[in-house]
Structure 1
Amino acid sequence: MAVPINLDTTLGFLSHAVVLCCILYGAGCMQAWFYYRKYSKRDSWTVQTLVAAVIICDTCQIGFLYAAVYNYTVTNQGNPLALTKLDPNLIIELIFSGMIAFLVQHFYCYRIYALSKSWLLSGFVSLTSLGSLVTLYYFIGVVLSQYTELAQLALLDNVSIVTNVLGIVSDFAITFLMIFLLQRSKTGFKNTTDVLNRLIVFTFNTGIPTSLCSIVTLILLEGVPGTFIYIFVYVSMGRFYTNCLLVTLNSRDYIRQGLNSDLTSTSENYALSIPNNPLESRLEFAGTNSTTDGISIRIDRDIHTSSSKVRRRRSA
């Protein structure tokens, strides 16, 4: 059944959400500017299109979210009954939020496939992500076609729970599989192990924000049913996906610099090639050539070569 509207748990948290979203949106725009400034001539058109699509969806969501808050606080100022009505902008913005999550999750899904060459693992992640998007769009379709009161959103709490559970499964699967595949790729050499450890930590850190958002949303839906406190977290989730994607892309040179600094103090020559197309993240070891379409680590041990050269010089 529908629940009574409370100003603090609706408009109050919605206003907080707009402030947080604007802060994260600004950070995302700066990351996007940095990306295109540095990688526009290095990355393939597919990656650049992905970044552009995510930023466009991000901008559209902020616009619709702001329009909803403006309608409640400015257009209908002094009209408390307006708060009980459902502003369609508040639901339309979820279309773009869901698409951002879908695109970013499939970016990582493709990286899982590139590392594992397993359709089963990548397919599982893809299906959970698609399921989350489908249930979200079902929620949007039902609300826009049938509901006119804000309180009626509580009637679809079960759908919201399913959407968030699938999102949690997808995010955790991405983080776990990436860490597992990177861990499995270790060769035992100290330098490459250090590099992979950095990548593992980085993968874990970028997977945490979106997973926490889904978990907190689920807790709020179950812990305080009949309220709209979860709006504060849920509408901010798209910004976290955007920033995690851009941080992942923009960190490539940082990781490579860390590798280059180690080269001066080791007798093992190795190279980390972080690609023009980071959608393909392949790790190759022991004498393979670095590629331009995947993360590859090449290890060339020159110990035997160097010793043979020394012997030739002595004999001469």
Structure 2
Amino acid sequence: MSAPTFNADNTLGALLIGTLVSYALFGVTTTQVYIYYGRFPQDSWRLKSLVVAAWCCDFAHTICIAITIYTMVITNYGHPERLFVLPNSLLASIFIGSLLSFGVQLFFSFRIYALSKSFWVPCICWALSLFRFVPPNVILFVFGRGPAAQFLGRFGPLFDAIWAASAANDLLIAGTLVILLYRRRNAGLESTVAMVDQLIAWTIETGVVTSIASLLMLIVFIALPSTFAWLAIFVVIPRLFSNSLLASLNSRAALRCAMRKGVPSSSRSTGFSAVPRPVLPNLKNVSESFEMNKVTMINHDD
């Protein structure tokens, strides 16, 4: 089968632009990891392990994309027919990126369970996450080493359904979290309304960004299947997931600061753990101060 007509602009050029954007977002991820470990040393080892795993997946994905670019631009220079055969490094990057997205979606699905204490919506989210993670990787590693045109012509509709399910899952997670937070907002104190509103805004931003990226990649893939424009978006999506995870964790510092400033002292009896406890004086220092004052008064009388 003859290779499609080679056009460096919408193939290598599109992939290069997507890679540069992906690398810039990797720098943002690394900065957020540094901020996280500086602000939250008291977090549980499970949460810290999740952050380390997310950064390691991001780093491995970055290396695989770099190898893919080098293979396509340097190793296969002068052989445009090789451009449309997916290299092993690209297959590895797809697996790592889907693993990262899978883990982040599981994390936000667990947040839904923690807020609602119900398994219905989290189970739907977990099922959609598994559908996004398992079938594409099995298909890629079994059938993905041939020409890309044959592979996409055979499994293209399945990948359309997978990416649509991923976008729907992101919207479901974001929408459910917004509804649960809005209920907490109405049932909470007046002093916490602004804090919950900020949480709702951040939830919408992080969920909608990943969903829009998945839908945009699906649209470009259907409209321009013989180009790498969809692949340029695909290499950016894992960075959006890792940054949404870290932004969600690091935002707790701003919320705690706002809560300390916004909650009046009369509301300390309401049971909020984030309100600072009153500092009790040192009884030894008080006793010594009292004795010194007593001696001074006696000398003054004499």
Q: TM class, shorter-chain normalised?
A: 0.7 to 0.9
What are the within-5 Å matches in structure 2 for residues 99-118 of structure 1? 99-118=99-118
| 1:148 and 2:110 are equivalent in the alignment | no
Q: Contact conserved, 2:3 with 2:84, CA < 8 A, in 1?
A: no
* 8 Å contact from structure 2 (residues 178, 200) kept in 1: yes
Is the 2:12–2:228 Cα contact (8 Å) retained in structure 1? no
Query: In the aligned structure 1, how far is the partner of 2:20 from the partner of 2:147?
Result: 24
Q: CA deviation at 1:268?
A: 5.4
2:298 counterpart residue number: none
Alignment-mate amino acid for residue 180 of structure 1: I
Q: Name the counterpart of 2:79.
A: 79
Deviation at 1:175, TM superposition (A): 0.2
Residue pair 2:125, 2:173 contacting (<8 A) in 1 also: yes
- 2:91 touches 2:141 (CA, 8 Å); kept in 1? no
> Runs of 5+ in structure 1 lacking a partner?
272-286, 291-295, 298-316
Q: For residue 159 of structure 1, what is the aligned residue in structure 2?
A: 158
Q: Which has the larger radius of gyration?
A: 2
- List aligned pairs for 1:206-225, cutoff 5 A: 206-225=206-225
Aligned to 1:183: 182
Comparing 203-212 and 172-181, the one that deviates more: 203-212
Structure 2 segments unaligned to the other structure (5+ residues): 276-302
What letter matches 1:213 in structure 2? A
- Higher relative contact order at CA 8 Å, sep ≥6: structure 1 or structure 2? 2
SS at match of 2:267: strand
Q: Is the 8 A contact 2:10 2:229 kept in 1?
A: yes
Secondary structure of 1:251 counterpart: helix
Give distance in 2, aligned partners of 1:162 and 1:135. Answer: 11
Summarize the Cα distance change of 1:150–1:270 in structure 2 as closer, same or farther, 3 Å threshold: farther
Match of 1:194 in 2: 194
Q: Which deviations, in whole Å up to 9, do the C-alpha atoms of 1:148-178 show, x marking residues without a partner?
A: 2233342221122121111112101110000
Of Structure 1 and Structure 2, which has the larger fraction of its residues in helix?
2
**Which residue number corresponds to residue 16 of structure 2?**
15
- 1:25 corresponding residue in structure 2: 26
TM-score by length of 1: 0.80
Instruction: Give CA-to-partner distance per residue, 1:241-282, whole Å, 9 cap, x none.
Output: 01111111111111111222223xx575269xxxxxxxxxxx
Partner secondary structure for residue 86 of structure 1: coil
After superposition, what is the alpha-carbon deviation per residue over 1:184-234, rounded to whole angstroms, capped at 9, x for unaligned? 112264222222111111111111221111110111122233433211111
State the percentage of identical aligned residues.
29
SS at match of 2:121: helix
Alignment size in residue pairs: 273
CA 1:142–1:5: 2 relative to 1, 3 Å: farther
1:69-128 Cα shifts (integer Å, max 9, x gaps): 101112232333332433121121101000101110111111100000001111111111
State how far apart, in whole Å, the 2-side matches of 1:172 and 1:9 are. Answer: 30
